[in-house]
Structure 1
Amino acid sequence: MRARATPPAPFQSLGSRVSILHVVIVGLSMVMTIGAWSFSKKQIETRNLMRFETARNSVVELIHDGMRRYEDALWAGVSAMESHGGDMTLAQWRSFAQALRVDEKYPGINGIGVIHFVGQEALAGYLAQRRAERPEFVSFPDHDGPIRMPISFVEPESANAAAIGLDVAHEANRRTAALLSRETGRAQISGPITLVQDAASTPGFLFFAPYYAGPAPGTVRERREQIIGSVYAPFVVHKLMAGLLAKDRRDIHFSITDAGQMIYSELGTDEHRNDPEPMFAETVSMQLYGREWVVDIRTNLAFRTKNTYAQPWVILAGGLIIEVLIISMLLLMSRGNARAIAYAEKATLALREKTRKLNATNNELEQFAYAASHDLKTPIRGIGGLAEMLREDLADYLASPEANPEIAENLDHIDERVARMTDLTNSIMAFARVGTVIEAQKSLNLAEVISTLALDFGLQDDQLEFEGEIPLIEADPVGLRRILENLVGNAIKYHDGVKPLAVKVRARAKQDRLYFEVIDNGPGIEPRFHQRIFDVFQTLRRPNGPESTGIGLAIVKKLVEMHGGTITLKSNLGHGAAFYFDWPAKQDAVDISAALPEAA
């Protein structure tokens, strides 16, 4: 940077002279702090939403999976009935149910039994058959319907004795589901009911699977004529949910309604983990064996405890503290500049001497970024070392089944951020090292440079091509090689694989300038980002894309402009990118500080 002959107009705050550049730096730093806070907050919100969606999907899938397992048990009962010609004795059914091990294999189910479909004319024969096994058997309650559907067997009998003989045709929800199951030949659940064997009279339902006489019927008429009965299972909803989902081990609570009637709820205020203002809530509609269950899912206090928003606020607080430090540092540096200028004025030094002194001070400021980045390396390495020590100390725990997987993930995040910070500091140092003096160096053969790049990047002949016949490069060959490395490297790094990689480097000479084109067939860049990508710390990284410090193209632009050239980009999404820049054909060692923007 060069000092202007005329000092900038000072801000009178605190008696210091704060330049526009300093204000811009503080403003950009504040924008970056707010941006980091906003980004972190958004990331936390997205992570929490994903965790809620995972928990929500888990609840829905567990209900679906559990009901499918219960359905399998019913069809096993149907197979058992069909293997006995459509009829089993009480002893045979009891033996089957014991072999099925309902209590152990199907937690949440109240039992498994058989319902026979009996016409009024066959009722006396049916009752005689049942009373031959159980003399006290009666069918109840009495009704005038054309068909009876008494419960013949249900096991375990001790928990379901009150239901034996119950005619499910007497009540609309039971009857409707049983008949629908008969008509369709598929499993069906009933609307909400109260089981006679449930002393607490809580909501429940029945699950039916029909079986028929003879070959499998193919029409509704055949099913009505061949129906024998249904294998069924009674459910008390709160017992079902306790069997399917351990409430105390979940971070969400939910309720279920069927046809507007609440059949299960964990959302009461008496729940010790109930969150009166849940972080997330969603209503899910489940189509389940002929019924629609509406599930209202909400996060509880356990979810809130595990998913706080503290991290973004810590970032914001830390950023603001850094802002205060930066402002203080700038004020101190500005005050130092003001004192230097005042001293120079008092000493009546010539304008050239004053300019030299200000240039020296500003050069120190330019080296500050390099020194700061260099000094940051030690604590960054220390953080990486501490993470490695933690990983070694926790190796046995992380390998154990009881290990919390988030610990290993957090250590991986630390390693990732240490690597990114190392890359960033190295890039800042590289940017700061782009010198202000170009030294005369050996000439450069451009064709050999392209061949070397192909070898360095492991490319085939058809992946990196060179076109052009120009003389040897005499002006800053190291800088030109660095530019080509960055542009070709970016084309490789961001190639999306939709087409085979193809990069072309073209060069032509015109008078005392060389004109270059670096063209790739990658994903392209939207025109609105064409200027932004050359700014320091700017990157267009996509999700799951390669990491970037956002400094590479800033170095390219700085090198080109140091040599009196310009760099432009032509690109559209899906059509690759083409970078154009010019370079001097020959240049001896010169001081190029005059080519840099003037600043106080």
Structure 2
Amino acid sequence: MDDGLQNNEKREKLVRAGKMHSIHWLIVLLSVVLTFSAWYYSQFQQSQKLEIQFEREAEKVVNLIKQRMTLYENILWGGVAYIDAVDSDITSQQWSTYSKSLQIDINYPGINGFGVIHNVQPDEFDNYLQKQYQQRPDYKVHPTHTNPEYWPITFVEPLASNKQAIGLDIAFESNRYSSIKKARDSGKALLTAPIILVQDNKQTPGFLFYTPFYKDGLKPDNIAERRRLIKGVTYAPFIMEKLMKGTQAETNRYVSIKIWDGADLLFDDHLNDNAIEVDESPLFSKKMETVLYGRTWTFSIQSNISFREDTTLNQSSIILIGGLIIDAFLLVLFLFLSKANRQALKYADQMTIELKNKTKHLEKSNIDLEKSNNDLEQFSYVASHDLKSPLNAIEQLGSWIEEDCEDILPEESKEHLALLRQRSKRMLKLLDDLLDYSRLNLTTVANDKVNLEEKAKDILSLLESNDNFSCTAPNIDINIPQLPFEIVLRNLISNSIKHHDKPTGQITIHYAIKNNFHEVSLEDDGPGIPEAFHDKAMEMFQTLQSRDKVEGSGMGLAMIKRIVVHYHGSVNIISDGKRGTKINILWPLNP
């Protein structure tokens, strides 16, 4: 009666194990929540990185323009120095030679020209024209105007692309004239407001860049002296579109820009035929103001198509997809285990009914079948209970997150991931050994000739971590079932290496014939096994060290015992618990 009650209780446990419980659904739900949390956090971190990258690109664009304008300023002041160094008024030939020596087209891309504008008072105008006629008979000042002084462009190089500007009197137009007077009065380099250059056939926005020079190379320190001693300015004309092409490496830019001078639009990537693919719905945009040589330029900067393509948020998407796949795998695994338990129980019930209907002549077969049925039930119980902890670890940690979030995870999370990998390996090892144990073919095998020394060497050579271990055995041939004996010997040698507490060790195999039995003993110099644990060590899933220290499943000695007992032999442990362990096996001479 007591046995019947116990069997009913065991069956009830198996029935419950074959169902999905609230704990299973809770685990799946927590896994989904963890997945979406990791996805949201990754997306937030990635968005912050992209914003920082955009800020760097925006600053880079503005700084490049500032640096290029500083370079152009240095050219103009270099022209001033050259003019001051010449004792007399420079000629058009001298200016042309000097300009060509600078190789403007090669060294200063973006600049449209490099020239000199003289200040000519009305009483000096005829004398100025006479000097220019001597050098260039076709030179003339144009257009006419009513201002009290003249600021004609005397020289400009390269001449071919700026021919229309020769003789142009800057005083005819207010933006050009007001800026040149400010440069004269301040003694500093200044830009004009937006203008249309006479040499620009496209009639696009541009500007002039002035640096003043004074008579006798002087540097007056007040406005009155500057106005009295002004001699002219060196200048550079700029077409804004050409300047931007020379300043920005457009194929490498991740932002598109617009530039205003006050209310006047100087440049717009949307309107220019260039390599920048403008994003109509940019991820980021900003405005920046900067003062450049007397003018305030406003930059409107936004991310372009290249930025979007090269910095997509695919990392967080991978995390989300990978996490959902893990969640789905976990749910399928729970359902599979539940179904497997139900099928195992159903199969066990069917076999029990059939066995009860068998005749007395099949009693022995019935006992063997019940044994197999119990093994199957035990395996189902283990699959649904003992393996639940490693499976929970897989669910909680998620090995795929390590690959996708390596750069953003804190150190504590990385430690968790390391723990996950360790537990996953142990779970796989446990499952493999458990399956091996359950699938052992225990049909009786006939004896075969086995050389003990050769077999020990072969097994040692195939084991991992065997470089520092030696195994000696007598060079004798014995008649014994080869395959099951090899499994026993391999597990014995593997256990000695795995559980050794030193990097090197010695394993010795002894052999003798005792009372119609093969007596095979394996002795090592590793840590001993206390006598109180001799029986426990040969049970399933038992290890005497922490599972985090020894990567084992605790199945080795249990598997050995099962094989040896099937052949009507015996296994026992001989150890004082301090140093060295001896496993003694008695195997019948005849199977």
TM-score normalized by the length of structure 2: 0.57
In percent, how many aligned pairs have the same letter? 35
Q: Name the CA distance, whole Å, in 2 between partners of 1:155 and 1:410.
A: 58
| More relative contact order, 1 or 2 (CA 8 Å, 6+ apart) | 1
- Is structure 2 residue 299 aligned with structure 1 residue 295? yes
Structure 1 pair 123–59 and aligned structure 2 pair: CA distance change class (3 A) = same
What pairs with 1:270-349 in structure 2 (closer than 5 Å)? 273-333=277-337
Report deviation, 1:269.
9.3
Question: Partner residue of 1:518?
Answer: none
Report deviation, 1:63.
0.7
- Is structure 2 residue 287 aligned with structure 1 residue 265? no
- Is structure 2 residue 258 aligned with structure 1 residue 242? no
Report deviation, 1:312.
1.9
Q: Over the residues paired in the alignment, what is the CA RMSD in angstroms?
A: 4.3
Structure 1 pair 16–410 and aligned structure 2 pair: CA distance change class (3 A) = closer
Contact 1:282 1:297 in 2 (8 A): yes
Deviates more, 1:48-57 or 1:124-133: 48-57
Question: Partner residue of 2:35?
Answer: 33
Report deviation, 1:361.
7.8
What pairs with 1:77-156 in structure 2 (closer than 5 Å)? 77-85=79-87, 87-156=89-158
Report deviation, 1:178.
0.8
Report deviation, 1:329.
2.8
Report deviation, 1:101.
1.4
Question: Which amino acid in 2 is paired with 1:326?
Answer: L
Rg larger in structure: 2
Q: Equivalent residue of 1:147, what SS?
A: coil
Q: Name the CA distance, whole Å, in 1 between partners of 2:41 and 2:405.
A: 19
Question: Partner residue of 1:570?
Answer: none
Contact 1:86 1:211 in 2 (8 A): no
- Is structure 2 residue 237 aligned with structure 1 residue 254? no
Contact 2:112 2:239 in 1 (8 A): yes
Q: Equivalent residue of 2:270, what SS?
A: coil
Structure 1 pair 242–122 and aligned structure 2 pair: CA distance change class (3 A) = same
Report deviation, 1:431.
12
Deviations along 1:222-276, one digit per CA (max 9) or x if unpaired, are 2112211100000111111111113233232222121211221111497772322
Q: Name the CA distance, whole Å, in 2 between partners of 1:367 and 1:113.
A: 83
Report deviation, 1:19.
4.2
Question: Which amino acid in 1 is paired with 2:264?
Answer: Q
Moved over 3 A (4+): 14-24, 268-272, 330-344, 356-363, 369-373, 409-414, 416-422, 426-432
Contact 1:86 1:212 in 2 (8 A): no
Contact 2:259 2:297 in 1 (8 A): yes
Question: Partner residue of 2:437?
Answer: none
Q: Name the CA distance, whole Å, in 2 between partners of 1:15 and 1:369.
A: 15
What pairs with 1:335-484 in structure 2 (closer than 5 Å)? 364-365=386-387, 367-369=389-391, 423-425=418-420
What pairs with 1:490-529 in structure 2 (closer than 5 Å)? none
Report deviation, 1:362.
7.8
Structure 1 pair 146–270 and aligned structure 2 pair: CA distance change class (3 A) = closer
Contact 2:390 2:423 in 1 (8 A): no
Q: Equivalent residue of 1:235, what SS?
A: strand
Deviations along 1:120-145, one digit per CA (max 9) or x if unpaired, are 22222222222221122211111121
Question: Which amino acid in 2 is paired with 1:364?
Answer: D
Q: Equivalent residue of 1:364, what SS?
A: coil
Contact 2:191 2:294 in 1 (8 A): yes
Contact 1:369 1:428 in 2 (8 A): no
Question: Partner residue of 2:235?
Answer: 232
Structure 1 pair 429–322 and aligned structure 2 pair: CA distance change class (3 A) = closer
Find the partner of 2:67 among 65, 68, 78.
65
Q: Name the CA distance, whole Å, in 2 between partners of 1:227 and 1:420.
A: 74
Q: Equivalent residue of 1:28, what SS?
A: helix
Q: Name the CA distance, whole Å, in 1 between partners of 2:394 and 2:251.
A: 51
Contact 1:268 1:274 in 2 (8 A): no
Deviates more, 1:134-143 or 1:151-160: 134-143
Q: Name the CA distance, whole Å, in 1 between partners of 2:327 and 2:270.
A: 45
Question: Which amino acid in 2 is paired with 1:192?
Answer: P
Contact 2:116 2:155 in 1 (8 A): yes
Find the partner of 1:201 among 203, 213, 234.
203
Report deviation, 1:372.
5.9
Q: Name the CA distance, whole Å, in 1 between partners of 2:282 and 2:407.
A: 31
Structure 1 pair 337–220 and aligned structure 2 pair: CA distance change class (3 A) = farther
Q: Name the CA distance, whole Å, in 2 between partners of 1:129 and 1:431.
A: 98
Q: Name the CA distance, whole Å, in 2 between partners of 1:111 and 1:427.
A: 70
Q: Name the CA distance, whole Å, in 2 between partners of 1:220 and 1:28.
A: 78
Contact 1:247 1:253 in 2 (8 A): no
Q: Name the CA distance, whole Å, in 1 between partners of 2:166 and 2:181.
A: 20
Report deviation, 1:152.
0.7
Contact 2:68 2:247 in 1 (8 A): yes
Report deviation, 1:340.
11
Report deviation, 1:308.
2.0
Q: Name the CA distance, whole Å, in 1 between partners of 2:294 and 2:79.
A: 20
Question: Which amino acid in 1 is paired with 2:307?
Answer: F
Contact 2:17 2:338 in 1 (8 A): no
Q: Name the CA distance, whole Å, in 2 between partners of 1:164 and 1:219.
A: 31
Structure 1 pair 122–316 and aligned structure 2 pair: CA distance change class (3 A) = same
Question: Partner residue of 1:50?
Answer: 52
Question: Partner residue of 1:509?
Answer: none
Q: Equivalent residue of 1:135, what SS?
A: coil
Structure 1 pair 361–156 and aligned structure 2 pair: CA distance change class (3 A) = closer
Structure 1 pair 38–242 and aligned structure 2 pair: CA distance change class (3 A) = same
Q: Equivalent residue of 2:55, what SS?
A: helix
Report deviation, 1:421.
7.7
Deviations along 1:489-520, one digit per CA (max 9) or x if unpaired, are xxxxxxxxxxxxxxxxxxxxxxxxxxxxxxxx
Q: Name the CA distance, whole Å, in 1 between partners of 2:323 and 2:164.
A: 69
Report deviation, 1:175.
1.0
Q: Name the CA distance, whole Å, in 2 between partners of 1:197 and 1:96.
A: 22
Q: Equivalent residue of 1:137, what SS?
A: coil
Deviations along 1:412-432, one digit per CA (max 9) or x if unpaired, are 999x99987862436758999
Q: Equivalent residue of 1:125, what SS?
A: helix
Question: Partner residue of 2:171?
Answer: 169
Contact 1:177 1:188 in 2 (8 A): yes
Deviates more, 1:28-37 or 1:312-321: 312-321
Deviations along 1:520-578, one digit per CA (max 9) or x if unpaired, are xxxxxxxxxxxxxxxxxxxxxxxxxxxxxxxxxxx9xxxxxxxxxxxxxxxxxxxxxxx
